[in-house]
Amino acid sequence: MKKDLQSRINDKTAVIGIIGLGYVGLPLAVEFANNSFTVLGIDIDKKRVAQLNGGENYIADVSNKSLKQLVSSKNLSATNDFSVLTDIDVVIICVPTPLNKLNDPDVSYILNVLDQLTKYVHTDMLISLESTTYPGTTRELILPALEKRNLTVGKDFYLCFSPERIDPGNEHYQINNTPKIIGGITEKCTAVGKLLYESIIDSVVPVSSPEAAETVKLLENTFRSINIGLANEVAIMCEKLGVDVWEVIDAAATKPFGFMKFLPGPGLGGHCIPIDPHYLAWKMKTLDYNARFIELAGDINTSMPLHVLELISSGLNQFQKPINGSKILVLGVAYKRDIDDVRESPALDVMTLLEQGGAQVDYYDSYVPKIKWNDTDKYCQKDLAAETLKSYDAVVVLTDHSNIDYDLVKSESKLIVDTRNVFSGIKDSKIIRLGNRQIS
Ligand SMILES: NC(=O)c1ccc[n+]([C@@H]2O[C@H](COP(=O)([O-])OP(=O)(O)OC[C@H]3O[C@@H](n4cnc5c(N)ncnc54)[C@H](O)[C@@H]3O)[C@@H](O)[C@H]2O)c1
């Protein structure tokens, strides 16, 4: 007789299916496979499926060697055929949850998964949704669809929400040592989900419901968005005050309690911080409540690229040059340091504004060989040699990658606009630092 799901999780014979093999799904699949589970990834992207089955890694946080080994030992494989779900015990959903054109949640990817999952859901199956979403999604969207198959949640199958907390590029906090939140529809769902994640993660934190777990994730990212918004507004205030915002923040951060350090920058980027607060604001609108902090932080953060444009414009002014016709080199297009992800990157907004103003814009980012730009491919400059730097009217630091020779950038550039404080404390009229100059 087949053992029950808990026993199969305990002895690691439970087969894990990860739906969506991107920044979240692939590292998770690798973590389970590294812990002796058999893992099957399911993705609609045929190229990704073929890459994974060929042992080829495409996510920076995953080790090439480990992926190759897991594929050759058959602990890890991928498919685009959802019928494999028939033989899968645990399903973890990691598909995108973007916004639509009106900044409202786009849960179509979850719904597409659900169309397939409802065909193959079976007894003793655990389903965990990890995609960030609005409170209520697990209970209102997923549960009714699965229960149509005459299965009872908490008895025949288990359903949880467990938000992913991956921080791309973070070398200290990875999947196994980042505590994981879990909220099931019933207590048994939470217990089974907790058991599963405890097999790969040091600390699993149960909460009373999927709604609580969904809200935890939105609080975490709203907290970041609001505090970055505050840092950005303080940067603008410091420019007017003639005070260095970076000095102020560093000094405030010496307080051992009651203060947490957030930094200003050219705007928000990535798949999470610019998007997730809108999921909460949208849900609150359905309850006739206006999430004011979220809106205000969103306004400030999305206006930062325009502020950067003003800094560039006033820098060029020193040389009697307008934006129109100037040659500008953008340093760094990824949304944060030492990663290759350009999703929602504010660099793209700054580049658009510069081009709209008539500038000729190029970029250098060793992590991003090309970007899609106005429906064509725009390629990274070949090098960052002295001659390259000298040929531009201004160099704009938008991402502070650690592999850049900033001394060379400083000595060879005609004008530098630094939005990341890489030229901290340097007094030089050709360097304009965000949050450290008098505008008027
Ligand atoms: N990237 C992060 O740092 C991060 C951190 C925490 C949470 N999240 C959340 O995790 C979720 C996934 O984000 P991501 O960054 O991994 O996205 P991603 O775009 O990197 O990967 C998503 C994958 O899902 C696949 N996919 C889309 N529709 C599918 C379907 N119907 N069936 C099977 N596969 C499908 C895509 O082909 C892609 O490979 C999102 O909700 C995101 O908000 C992301």
- What would the pLDDT profile of 38-62 be if each residue is shown by its tens digit? 999 999 999 999 999 999 999 988 9
CA of 95 to the centre of ligand 1 (A): 4
The reported pLDDT for the residue numbered 439 is 43
CA of 93 to the centre of ligand 1 (A): 9
Pocket test for ligand 1, best of 18, 24, 28 (most atoms within 8 A of CB): 24
- Low-confidence stretches of the chain (pLDDT < 70) are 438-440
Give CA–CA dist 284/135, Å, rounded. 10
Give CA–CA dist 305/309, Å, rounded. 6
Pocket test for ligand 1, best of 40, 271, 280 (most atoms within 8 A of CB): 271
CA of 241 to the centre of ligand 1 (A): 43
CA of 109 to the centre of ligand 1 (A): 9
Residues with Cβ within 8 Å of 202's Cβ and at least 6 positions away in sequence, in order, are 176, 177, 179
Q: Which residue lies with its CA nearest to atom 18 of ligand 1?
A: 22
Task: Report the 10 Å Cβ neighbour count for 187.
Answer: 11
CA of 164 to the centre of ligand 1 (A): 10
Active-site residue, from 160, 238, 272, 380: 272
The reported pLDDT for the residue numbered 440 is 40
Which ligand 1 atom lies nearest to the CA of residue 163? 7
The reported pLDDT for the residue numbered 102 is 87
Active site residue 380: no
User: In this predicted model, what pLDDT tens digit does every residue of 12-45 receive, in sequence order?
Assistant: 999 999 999 999 999 999 999 999 999 999 999 9
Q: Give the position of tokens 């907790």.
A: 194
Q: Which residue lies with its CA nearest to atom 27 of ligand 1?
A: 95
Instruction: Please give all residues whose beta carbon lies within 6 A of any atom in ligand 1, as ranges.
Output: 19-25, 42-45, 48, 94-97, 109, 112-113, 130-132, 164, 166, 168, 271-272
Question: From residue 139, how far is each of 132, 133, 154, 413 by CA, in Å?
Answer: 14, 12, 13, 56
Q: Which residues pair with 328 in a beta bridge?
A: 361, 394
Question: From residue 7, how far is each of 2, 4, 87, 357, 406 by CA, in Å?
Answer: 10, 5, 16, 64, 56
CA of 23 to the centre of ligand 1 (A): 7
The reported pLDDT for the residue numbered 438 is 55
> pTM of this prediction?
0.93
The reported pLDDT for the residue numbered 227 is 98
Which ligand 1 atom lies nearest to the CA of residue 59? 20
Q: Which residue lies with its CA nearest to atom 10 of ligand 1?
A: 131
Which ligand 1 atom lies nearest to the CA of residue 132? 41
User: In this predicted model, what pLDDT tens digit does every residue of 228-257 receive, in sequence order?
Assistant: 999 999 999 999 999 999 999 999 999 999
